[in-house]
Amino acid sequence: MQVRVRYAPSPTGLQHIGSVRTALFDYLFARASGGVFILRLEDTDRTRYSEEYVKNLYDTFKWLGFYWDEGPDVGGPYGPYVQSERFPLYQARAKELIEKGMAYYCFCGEERLAKVRADQADSDTSEMGYDRHCRGLDPAAAAARIAAGEKAVIRLKIPLEGTTKFRDALLGDIEWKNEDVSPDPILLKSDGFPTYHLANVVDDHLMRITHITRAQEWIPSAPLHIIMYEAFGWEPPELVHLPMVLGADGHKLSKRHGATAVDEFRKAGYLPEALVNYVSHLGCSFEEGRDIFSLADLERLFKVERLNKAPAIFDYQKLEWYNGQYIRLKSDADLLGLVMPYLVQAGLLAEAPAPEPRSLALGAMPLVKERLRFLADAPIMLRYLFEEPPVPAPEEFIPKKLDKARAAELLAAGGALLPSCDLSDLEATEARYRAEAERLGAKFGDLMMPLRVAVTGSRVSPPLFESIRLIGIPKATARIGRAVAALS
């Protein structure tokens, strides 16, 4: 049996971390087992549906670097892969259950249903949900009412007694009392639209899905789906309920924990490889003592047995660490290509920069590669290379325990030494500045700090002498002169 797994999002919002993890595990499972990964759009919620969210779905996975084998945009043998294009299938299957006596027409209007809910809320009953008022209707009489044009929904007959059992590949055997299953849920609405449960089960069967991977919060819907499979006489797919992804506070990951939409991570300057690698470890383990895996590694190593039962904690600091590691692995040319959009957006470079500014940016990549946490940090770090920084406030130049006069003296001395330095020999240049600091009776750091602020406009910057080598000694000396004048 060939493994066939599916990612079935509803295009009613942006792609977020929890959904991407489910899709990633589906993809890895398919690749590890020689199977097929499928995308199906569950677009029956038309009130919240938006083409913007469909576009975001495609853009997100193209950026992440893993994709489906069958889907709306690539086709396949079991299409269409969009639920709104499959309505006749659902209508036929719902009527099939009517004919088998496993479902029935319900004519209860919203007014009556509202009264049922209100009465249940006011009473001490533990029974909640539909009261099965139409379950006992004569099927022939119900069919005649439908033929006469009366509107009705189709409801599934949930067994009134007993239990429903199913096996989860991760959690083991699960047993659910039928009295705790949602009572006789709607399968087909009066307008012919299917509910999630009907469309989901019918599509999974017709698309030959063998394994369903989803979060543990979906466990309560599993008995309902198993009952539907049994009603149709179909073999259900194997279920894999993934551990939850929690924030650091132990609650389900949400917007209050920061960026959860993948777009936000992308805009902040995370690399797709870092996000994929980190997300793959949320509830799964691969090899002890190793953190960095290529997508090919993950495809080879993934097994359902490696999944954890316990919830995973989303750690932004760990993800930041991953991002830094992947940035370090980039060549200078590749890193420039990645930060270029951020430099263009900041107005530091043109979209097609001239050779000189491009060369300057390329030369800066070794200076920032070890310091970048996110690609979006690049404009902040490199602005001084492309623009004259404003002269900071006097207090920015003053090392601890020194005053403005001493800072000005050190800055002037450092600036005077610079024209005679050979910046192709950084060791010799640093040695000269250390000797100058000793001559002035100052700490080396106290001599360098005012110099750094004058040249870069900040106390924190890429390596100073390498930066001066990039912009040139004349430009650096001019900036130092302005800063000395401001301090004096």
| Per-position pLDDT tens, the chain of length 488 | 899 999 999 999 999 999 999 999 999 999 999 999 999 999 988 888 899 999 999 999 999 999 999 999 999 999 999 999 999 999 999 999 999 999 999 999 999 999 999 988 888 776 788 999 999 999 999 999 999 999 999 999 999 999 999 999 999 999 999 999 999 999 999 999 999 999 999 999 999 999 999 999 899 999 999 999 999 999 999 999 999 999 888 888 876 776 689 999 999 999 999 999 999 999 999 988 899 999 999 999 999 999 999 999 999 999 999 999 999 999 999 999 999 999 999 999 999 999 999 999 999 999 999 999 999 999 999 999 999 999 999 999 999 999 999 999 999 999 999 999 999 999 999 999 999 999 999 999 999 999 999 999 999 999 999 999 999 999 999 999 999 999 88
Tell me how far apart the alpha carbons of residues 202 and 181 are, in angstroms, rounded to a whole number: 19
Contact of 433 with 351, CB cutoff 8 Å:
no
Radius of gyration for the alpha carbons in the chain, expressed in angstroms and rounded: 32
Q: What is the reported pLDDT for 128?
A: 80
Tell me how far apart the alpha carbons of residues 231 and 290 are, in angstroms, rounded to a whole number: 47
Is 443 among the catalytic positions? no
Length of the chain: 488
Structure token digits, residue 218: 């979906």
Q: What is the reported pLDDT for 288?
A: 86
Q: What is the reported pLDDT for 429?
A: 97
Tell me how far apart the alpha carbons of residues 164 and 252 are, in angstroms, rounded to a whole number: 28
Q: What is the reported pLDDT for 383?
A: 96
Structure token digits, residue 157: 């007959």
What's the pTM value of the predicted model, to 2 decimals?
0.91
Q: One-letter amino acid identity for 46? A: R
Tell me how far apart the alpha carbons of residues 403 and 155 are, in angstroms, rounded to a whole number: 82
Tell me how far apart the alpha carbons of residues 209 and 201 are, in angstroms, rounded to a whole number: 10
In the set 255, 303, 309, 318, the catalytic residue is 255
- Kindly list the structural domains of the chain, giving each domain's residue range(s) and its CATH number in brackets, ordered by start: 1-71+243-329 (3.40.50.620), 86-242 (3.90.800.10), 331-382 (1.10.8.70), 388-488 (1.10.10.350)
Q: What is the reported pLDDT for 258?
A: 67
Structure token digits, residue 241: 């309920």
